[in-house]
Structure formats: structure tokens, C-alpha cells
Amino acid sequence: SWQQVHYHAGGLRLNPNLYGNGNVCLSLLNTWSGSRNEKWTPGVSTMLQVLVSIQGLILNAKPYFNEPGYASTSGTQNGEAQSLKYNENTFILSVRTMMYTMKKPPKNFEDLVVGHFYSRAHDILASCKAYMEGVQVGCLVKGGVQDVDEGGGKSSDKFKADLLKYVKLLVKEFEKLGVKDCKKFISPTPTPLKLTTPKPTPSKLRTTRGKK
């Protein structure tokens, strides 16, 4: 029975469709309303369909609008502002989920968890660093900036402060896995020095003209 499928949430609800108790709200799993074709059909529906549905319908760029009551506010100033705020909170919960997963990996997936976070630790921390420096959540992709929408705002000061606190804890978990050079991602990026050429004084200008 697909109703028994659950998400290892660790008590954290980081998406309207992923409950803190592990429930996954999706028509294909018969946990949400939908047409006959959208629901699970024994002998026809597959696990691949479940994974693709979760990836495309749940783990999207703006999960705030997954809530039926908020979908109508998409594109409005207030709706987009709330969506950005939701994304910031979601990213904090995602970082906490990473730590929870490393501490308590799902049974039989221990090696997969270690391998994934060991190989992706620097990419994850690079994204965190960019967000702490003001890049809007959801706009960073492996060191490059990619706009989620045409607006392209900035992350809030509260989010940046909260994220720094959790990134320090995340670094410790990565170091337990043997990942090196993690602390460089929590130190501020030095401001590059600007070299300027001094402008000649008025007296020098007059002298130069006189020589000509």
C-alpha cells in the first residue's frame, strides 16, 4: 500500500507536501485528491512515476505555492515576498535535514549518505556562503548564479544570521566524514582592494600646459 510510504523528516516540515510526521502528500500516493489517472493504479503505476512526481511537483523552485490556498497569489507582490521568505526558511530546514541524515542515515543507505555528502560537501557549503553574502535563495547552481525569476532579490539579514549558525554545525558534520578545508566557507570573503590613479593637482595641470 503506497499510503505507507513516508519521508524521513526528522520532525521537520520543509515543504507543504512533506509533513514533519513523514507523510508525503501526493495524488499518486493516494494521500491527496486527484483524478483517476492521477492516482495509483496497481499493475500500471511505477516507483519511477513517484520519484518523477516528487521531483517535479513537490521539489520545485517555489514550494510556497504548493499550498492550494496560496496558489492564487503567485505573481503578486505579496505572494512573491512570502514565497521568498518561505524559501529561506526551507533552506534552513534543509541544512538541518542534512545534519539529521548524516547522524541517522536510513537503514541500508548508510554508504550512499556518506558518499553523497563527502563528494558534495564543498558545493553545498559554497551555496551556503553565497546565500550568507546576499545571493537570493534558489539562485545558485554549483558556483554560478542562475535567476529563478526575473526579479532576483536578496536574502534577508535574519536568514543570513540564522544560516551562519547552522553552517558552523554543518561544517562539523562534514569534518566527521573526513572532508577537508570546510572552515574556509564560513569566513567572510575579503573585500578586494581598489587601486586608483591619483589625479594631478590644478597647479601641475597649469605647469604641464605651460611647458607645451
Enumerate the active-site residues: 25
Q: Single out the residue of 6, 2, 8, 7 nearest to residue 47, CA to CA.
A: 2
Question: With b meaning 16 or more CB within 10 Å and e meaning fewer, what string describes 184-206?
Answer: ebeeeeeeeeeeeeeeeeeeeee
Amino acid occupying residue 72: S
Diameter over CA atoms, the chain = 95
Q: Single out the residue of 119, 167, 123 nearest to residue 143, CA to CA.
A: 123
Q: Single out the residue of 54, 72, 69, 73 nearest to residue 14, CA to CA.
A: 54
Sign of CA dihedral 179, 174, 155, 57: positive
Specify whether the backbone of 197 is left (phi greater than 0), alpha (psi in -120 to 50) or beta.
beta
| CA angle (145, 50, 52) in 5-degree steps | 30
